[in-house]
Structure 1
Amino acid sequence: MADSQDIDLNSSEFYINRELSHLQFNIRVLEQALDDTHPLLDRLFFLCIFSKNLDEFFEVRVADLVHQLTFNRELAGIDGLHPAQVLDEIYAMCSTTVARQYEILNDTLLPQLKDQNIHFLRRAEWTDEQRLWIRDYFDDNVQPLISPIGLDPSHPFPRLVNKSLNFIVALDGKDAFGRQTGLAIIPAPRSLPRTLRLPDELVPEGEDHFVFLSSIIHEYADELFPGMTVKGCYQFRVTRNADLDIDHEETSDLASALEDELHSRNFGEEMRLEVADNCPDELITFLLRQFNLDESDLFKVNGPVNLGRLIEVIDQINRPDLRYPPYTPGLPKNVNFKKSIFESIRAKDTLLMHPFESFTPVVDLLREAAKDPGVKAIKQTLYRTGAKSEIVNALVDAARNGKEVTVVIELRARFDEEENLYLANRLQEAGAVVVYGVVGYKTHAKVMLIVRKEGNQYRRYVHLGTGNYHAGNARAYTDYSFMTCDDSICEDIHKVFQQLTGMGEVMRVKKLFHAPFTLHKRLIQLIDREREQAEAGNKALIRLKANGLTEPKLIRALYRASQAGVRIELVIRGMCSLRPGIPGVSENIEVRSIIGRFLEHTRVYYFLNGGNDEIYAASADLMERNLLRRVETAFPIEANKLKERMKAELEIYTKDNTQAWILQTDGSYVRVQPGPEDEPISAQSWLLDNLAASTGTSQA
């Protein structure tokens, strides 16, 4: 092994570009569409999620890189790549991957769905009866909402909404005013579904037939231009920069500034053009010119331009045999929530792992607090919650019942800003005090504090989580919930809220790690402590689970620990800038990504610490934004039984050999396959079997 003192850990060769790593994650999602261990409709779901993820990638990440180029801020990242180089690689990867996505749809999923009597009909396949129904639907629902736009000097190219479905139409002939421009644009009505399920009476029994809105508009496009001939009609879609640009120093009212910016999100700078692959070159050139894009920004697709909207059909198909079997989330066997939840928490700390265990106790804790006459105050952070949130309903009830309710709402939670503005207004109208966190630092911590008078004294209860207060997410994402009345942790959370809602110097906390103040520093200290154990000849082990790992100082600390002989096992779902397997640097580090039925979302930090192991759950990923520019919490799990449980749950992820992908030194991922003598292990299936109340079958 090379002398570690001779190796410059700042060298760009030791780091993977975060954007390209992010794309690699999305490619792993797409690969699930080909994995026949998933039920067929869930494979279609993964295909749709890939499309949605890629939309956001262009709206935010590509937009940021283009912005850097536009304003001459071409600074290389820790990986040494400049924005222009990263964009070139992104376009090359996306061109290949998008083509593969449509191949999977057309050559694999649609034929297999057809074999299951689920048909997506082309126009030539419509029966006479179906055609009559579709014609009526066009007359009654589509045509009244469409406003075709002929292009001429008085009708310039329209400003089209981000990701909206549109058609460019080639025309022949003159209109009623004698105009002969030859081109028109048809914006599809945004209020209509992109895929229609035909009525049961029009299809054979036991079958599902769907038609695309785009097919209907294609079929009747000529009727939108009476007296003219439609020579061609081609769908297209433009993706725009959707990141909000708010100058915090110039903004006196964040809520008002956000309301102004939200409208502009639909009309940001163009980032990508998707167009039907049969569209003539001259029309594609025309569109590229209108959007100020070039060939690298163009994606020709063989199918609907927005496959993300296909997700709408899944719930319209009553085929439980083609979905994962339902399951009932469990509850810890040694916790009795039938009594007062406050009584249960006083008896022992409670740990829940969602979705395998129920999120209901978290909601019930707040509901009980809203009604309990002993509860005097509730403080809560909200990041992503949901428009019909039971959590918000309980907070509203608490405020109306005279509790002192304080809610820290993060208005800048990307793509949830509008919903959070609505929730903030609703809570304020109920009498809650609503604050919007700290300027320049997103409040990403998931914390709830309840103050209850018991006898002659006040007792505090807290809930801490790795995920959002969102019941829907709690059924789809893996996350931890922790409920305790530990005095030190409760006092720490009290101080966190003081800093969020008031002003003053940094407050010293006892047990929590608290970003942006102590979390980054303490994580590096714990990594260094493990390195010192290895240097002393002791066994040393670090296990970290997060959604992303990109922070350079943390990565260098892990490299130094690896050089000293620390075994480091990382479970990183998405982007990872650490490059494992480099001789003399990271050969003791393994990085794996788990992609399965549920979205991996838990953040857990484990350190062997010479046998006196420490384990933390957290709201923070291992990224610059989380550790340095957000309000985050990491909280210790100290009860021995809970520690042992979390260690076992974390360890099973390191043994997964059916849904795990291992990061290679070159930045690619290879899927793990069990050997002939190996027992197949799926972490998510294991958790379903061991934590959920019933699963039917534990496919995950």
Structure 2
Amino acid sequence: MIVTDRMEETIQASDLISRDLSWLKFNERVFDQVKKEQRNIFEKLKFMAITASNLDEFFMIRVGSLYNYLDYDKVRVDYSGLREDAFKMKLMIESQNFHRRQHETFMEELLPSTEEEGFILSNVKNLLDEEQKIIKDYFFKAVYPMLTPMVFDGYHTFPILMNKLLIFGVITINQGDKKDNRKLSFVQIPSNIPRFFEIERENVMIYVPIEEVIREHVFSLFRNVNIESVNLFRITRNGDFTLEESEDMDTNFLEEVKRKLNERKTGRVVRIEIEEGYSKWMINLLKERWIINDDSIFKIPRKSLMDFTGLWQVIGNKRFKDKIPPTPPPIPPLSYPDAATEDIFQVLKHKDVLLHHPYNSMEPIMDLLEKAADDPHVMAIKMTIYRLSKNSNIVNALLRAVENGKHVSVLFEVKARFDEENNIREAKRLQKAGCFVIYGISNLKTHTKLLLIVKKEESKVTRYVHLGSGNYNEETSRIYTDIGLLTTNEVLANDVSEFFNVITGHSLPSTYQNLLTSPREMRNRLIEFIEKEAENARNGLKSGIFIKINSLEDSEFIFALYRASQAGVPIKLIVRGICCLRPGRPGLSENIQVISIVGEFLEHSRIYHFHNDGDSRTYVGSADAMVRSFDKRLESLFRVETSVLEKQVMNILSYNLRDNVNAYVMQEDGSYIHKEPNKGEEVFNIHKEFFKLTPAMISDVKLIE
């Protein structure tokens, strides 16, 4: 695998950065958390597990998508300027380099320090005699009955090997047979067997990887034959698919989703991770079977660990619960300081409430929904749901509302990647109870986060609305930073009511007043705002663009920012993950700065702020600046008009730009440099500072002097 100088020149010459190469840079920033000296071993293992999970999804979706082009001879030109074959070569080199750094760090920096922290990863042979007996008993009573050797030879078809499971490839020869009569059998380790067998000593926990337990006793699965080699490997399959839905969302649609979920289990193999010392005969057989090249084979050192996601078992052990630094308790919302004592319905009739999670709890939303479920004056509840926690209190409240005779409409996005099965199950529960459930809209994903509660109060009807950037998920609300607005504002209530009529019925929307929606108008309106800033700059008026999003990929949006930069508009972007824009390129983007915040919480909120010569426009919502967000999803951004709430949102931007602990500054070539405090400058960590925020601290916030 050689990436030529010409290929690198092509990549750097492009005014856009490859989405996939940018994503790998993002995972490197997550991996950088593993190397932070101030983090203890358990925090480091947590981030190691996250990088592994991220990489699994990257191969399933992004590399899987690339193979869709390669396998069917379709043309794909990446933002880097490279065609599909050359781009795959570059992508695999970067992935292999990252994979190597992961395992070197694990072996050289993490493993040597585990014993002093109270645990050891061990194979069976290093255990005490009595511990080996315990392992043997565990294997034969609990593990052995779960294992099924599957032979592949002239009489048996090639078995279906599952995505992301640990698998042993065992090569055997019948006694007296020649070597060319060897056979290959596969032993998959079921996912419901714990990743490690735990042995508790007085001062230390011993973790024995399940593959070592099985390896020690694998002979019991292959009696009266010679075992030539035992090879541990793991495969990643293509998980990218496009649903071909018809406009009629009938019951066949759910069956289509279920069918596609099953296809994930048998999709083409895009990566093989295999333990070093493997059989070349076996790997050649697998390569031929799965039509895969050497660049997609990732070698795991024997002293390392296959599949770092299993480390969650270590991190989650109750013995070490005090080792992960606790998150401070949530503070009351700045606009709702008496959240624990006041009635949420009464509060919202007089003022709006802005929530900033996880610094503010999700409780006000749950309080509103649960009160609505029981309030005899509430007539209807409408809601969009993208991702839910398991055993969701949201669903329980909606079920209670239906039981209490209220009209409940829920748009369940059953195409939310990797949450499809949970969403289908919960949607069916609601539907069975009498809720009006919509399973997505045509070929669009519904990603917008909206809640509408209709309540009859004396002689009028009041609509209570929640709009947000985050999912209605109690678990992620404690680790994702998101923004939500609770309001009875009539303008927003009309907009949200209109939007629900569009997505639940057959209605073409009129113009929204304070809502930007996609796929209808969002890209064009945002570009209009960018162009207005450029016009102000050219006319000598004050201008400025401040955006905080997860991903920046849409080329039309990016080139609008380039034009604004050339007009003299100062542009500051906070982009956590993928960023296809090149900042600081002479003649193109000198006035654009990009930072990425990666730390204790996952930055998930989206904010678009345009200075507009002092008459600012500030929008918050669920949409990133991506083609999928603008063209392939139902998305919304809502305008924050109330002055005090807009200042709170502006302060979120200001704090992000001040951070010198979690911030990485993007360079023109697509690399990132960790931002450090300047000499004499105080450490400023937003994941701590937001817990200290008071109303007085945001009273004079300014983004443009």
Corresponding position of 1:513? 516
Describe how 1:166-185 pairs up with structure 2 within 5 A.
Answer: 166-174=167-175, 181-185=182-186
How many angstroms apart in 2 are the aligned matches of 1:437 and 1:399? Answer: 21
CA shift, 1:71, in A, is: 2.2
2:414 matched to 1:411?
Answer: yes
Q: CA deviation at 1:117?
A: 2.1
After superposition, the Cα gap between the structure-2 partners of 1:441 and 1:141, relative to the gap in structure 1 and judged at 3 Å, is same
Instruction: Give unmatched runs, 5+ long, in structure 2.
Output: 1-11, 696-705
* 1:474 equivalent among 461, 474, 477: 477
Q: What's the CA shift string for 1:8-28, capped at 9, x where partnerless? A: xxx972100111111111111
Matched with 1:6 is none
Q: Give 1:114 shift.
A: 2.0
Query: What TM-score comes out, normalization by structure 2 length?
Result: 0.93
Greater Cα offset, 316-325 or 245-254: 245-254
Question: CA deviation digits over 1:260-300, x for unaligned, max 9?
Answer: 22222111111111100121333322222232211111000
Report the Cα offset of residue 175 of structure 1. 10
**Alignment partner of 1:236 is 2:237:** no
In the other structure, the counterpart of 1:227 is 224
Residue deviations 1:460-508 (CA, integer Å, cap 9, x gap): 0100110100011101110011100000100000011000011132322
Tell me whether 1:131 sits opposite 2:132 in the alignment: yes
Measure how far apart 1:185 and its partner are. Answer: 1.6
User: Counterparts of 1:105-120 in structure 2 under 5 Å?
Assistant: 105-120=106-121
Aligned-partner Cα distance in 1 for 2:568–2:540: 9
CA drift at 1:339: 2.7
Q: Distance in 2 between matches of 1:212 and 1:139?
A: 16
Match of 2:63 in 1: 62
- Tell me the distance in 1 between the aligned counterparts of 2:184 and 2:553: 48
1:299 corresponds in structure 2 to 298
Change (3 A) 1:688 1:112: farther
Letter in 1 for 2:430: L
- Aligned 8 A contact 1:119 1:210 in 2: yes
Q: Separation in 2 of the partners of 1:150 and 1:160?
A: 12
CA contact (8 A) 1:142 1:189 kept: no
SS at match of 1:680: coil
Instruction: Give the superposition deviation at 1:112.
Output: 1.7
Aligned residue among 673, 676, 693 for 2:676: 673
Q: Does structure 2 retain, via aligned residues, the 8 Å contact 1:240–1:268?
A: yes
Equivalent-residue separation in structure 2 for 1:284 and 1:25 (angstroms) = 31
Match of 2:8 in 1: none
Q: 1:144-176: CA deviations, max 9, x gaps?
A: 111112332122331101111100113243499
For residue 295 of structure 2, what is the amino acid of its counterpart? Answer: S
Match of 2:394 in 1: 391
Matched, 1:246 2:219: no
Name the residue aligned to 1:281: 280
In the alignment, structure 1 residue 647 sits paired with structure 2 residue 650: yes
AA at the equivalent of 2:82: L
Q: Which residue of 1 aligns with 2:349?
A: 346
TM-aligned CA deviation for residue 317 of structure 1: 4.7
SS of the residue aligned with 1:14? coil
Q: Does the Cα contact within 8 Å between 1:214 and 1:304 map onto a contact in 2?
A: no
Measured in 2, the distance between the counterparts of 1:305 and 1:351 equals: 44
> Where do 1:301-380 residues align within 5 Å?
301-302=300-301, 303-335=304-336, 336-337=338-339, 338-380=341-383
Distance 1:227 1:293 in 2: 34
Aligned to 1:588: 591
Q: Does 1:440 align with 2:439?
A: no
Partners of 1:321 and 1:531 lie apart in 2 by 52
Partner Cα distance (2:343, 2:111) in 1 = 51
Distance of 2:121 and 2:694 partners within structure 1: 39
Name the counterpart of 1:522: 525
Deviation at residue 320 of structure 1 after TM alignment: 4.3
What letter matches 2:90 in structure 1?
A: E
Offset from partner CA, 1:405-429 (integer Å, 9 cap, x none): 0000111111111111101100001
Contact 1:78–1:552 (8 Å) recurs in 2: no
**Greater alpha carbon shift after TM alignment, 160-169 vs 310-319:** 310-319
Q: TM-score, normalised by structure 1?
A: 0.94
Query: Who is 1:5 aligned against?
Result: none
1:521 shift after superposition = 1.1
Q: 1:441 to 1:250 in 2, by over 3 A?
A: closer
Q: 1:265 matched to which residue of 2? A: 264
Contact 2:536-2:613 at 8 Å conserved across structures: yes
Structure 2 residue 213 is the aligned partner of structure 1 residue 210: no
Q: Which amino acid aligns with 1:536?
A: N
Maintained 8 Å contact 1:174/1:180: no
**Counterpart-to-counterpart distance in 2, 1:606 and 1:115:** 49
Displacement, 1:448?
A: 0.2
Taking a change above 3 Å as real, the CA distance of residues 655 and 585 of structure 1, as seen in their structure-2 partners, is same
Q: Is the 8 A contact 1:520 1:627 kept in 2?
A: yes
Q: Match for 2:64: what amino acid?
A: A
Distance in 2 (alpha carbons) for counterparts of 1:197 and 1:526: 58
- Indicate the residue corresponding to 1:48 in structure 2: 49
The residue type equivalent to 2:299 in the other structure is: K
By relative contact order (CA 8 Å, sep 6+), the higher-ranking structure is 1
Distance change in 2, residues 1:250/1:506 (3 Å) = closer
- In structure 2, relative to structure 1, the CA distance for the partners of 1:118 and 1:689 (3 Å cut) is farther
1:352-401 CA deviation, whole Å, 9 max, x = no partner?
A: 11111101111111000000011000000000012311111111110111
Residue number among 602, 618, 621 corresponding to 2:621 in the alignment: 618
> Does structure 2 conserve the Cα–Cα contact (< 8 Å) formed by 1:194 and 1:212?
yes
Question: What is the distance in 2 between the residues matched to 1:651 and 1:141?
Answer: 55
| Aligned equivalents of 1:182, 1:375: Cα separation in 2 | 68
Residues of 1 paired with 2:160 and 2:583: CA distance?
A: 46
- The CA distance in 2 between the partners of 1:128 and 1:282, in whole Å, is 36
Q: Distance in 2 between matches of 1:105 and 1:670?
A: 23
Larger mean CA deviation between 564-573 and 205-214 belongs to: 205-214
2:123 — aligned with what? 122
Percent of aligned pairs sharing the same letter: 35
Aligned letter for 2:630? L
Q: How does 1:189-208 map to 2 (within 5 A)?
A: 189-198=190-199, 200=200, 203=201, 205-208=202-205
Q: Is the 8 A contact 1:221 1:230 kept in 2?
A: no
State the alpha-carbon separation in 2 of the partners of residues 395 and 86 from structure 1. Answer: 48
Partner of 2:548: 545
Q: Measure the CA separation in 1 of the matches of 2:290 and 2:108.
A: 32
How much does 1:37 deviate?
A: 2.3
Letter paired with 2:136: R
C-alpha displacement of 1:179: 12
Paired amino acid for 1:293: I
Q: Is residue 29 of structure 1 aligned with residue 45 of structure 2?
A: no
**Partner Cα separation in structure 2 for residue 386 and residue 533 of structure 1:** 45
Counterparts of 1:462-501 in structure 2, within 5 Å, are 462-501=465-504
Worse overlay, 441-450 or 31-40: 31-40
Residue 272 of structure 1 aligns to a residue in which SS?
A: strand
CA deviation map 1:39-69 (0-9, x unaligned): 3211111111111111111111111111112
CA distance in 2, matches of 1:483, 1:431: 27
Alpha-carbon contact 2:153-2:183 (below 8 Å) kept: no
Closer, same or farther in 2 for the Cα pair 1:235/1:250, shift >3 Å? farther
**Structure 1 range deviating more: 538-547 or 443-452:** 538-547
Q: Match of 1:622, SS?
A: coil
2:703 maps to none
Check whether the contact 1:175–1:228 (CA below 8 A) recurs between aligned residues.
no
Closer, same or farther: CA 352–334 of 1 in aligned 2, 3 Å: closer
Aligned counterparts of 1:333 and 1:647: Cα–Cα separation in 2: 14
Query: Are the aligned partners of 1:65 and 1:83 in contact in 2 as well (CA < 8 Å)?
Result: yes
Alignment check: 8 A CA contact 1:544 1:570 kept: yes
SS of structure 2 residue aligned to 1:139: helix
Letter in 2 for 1:553: E
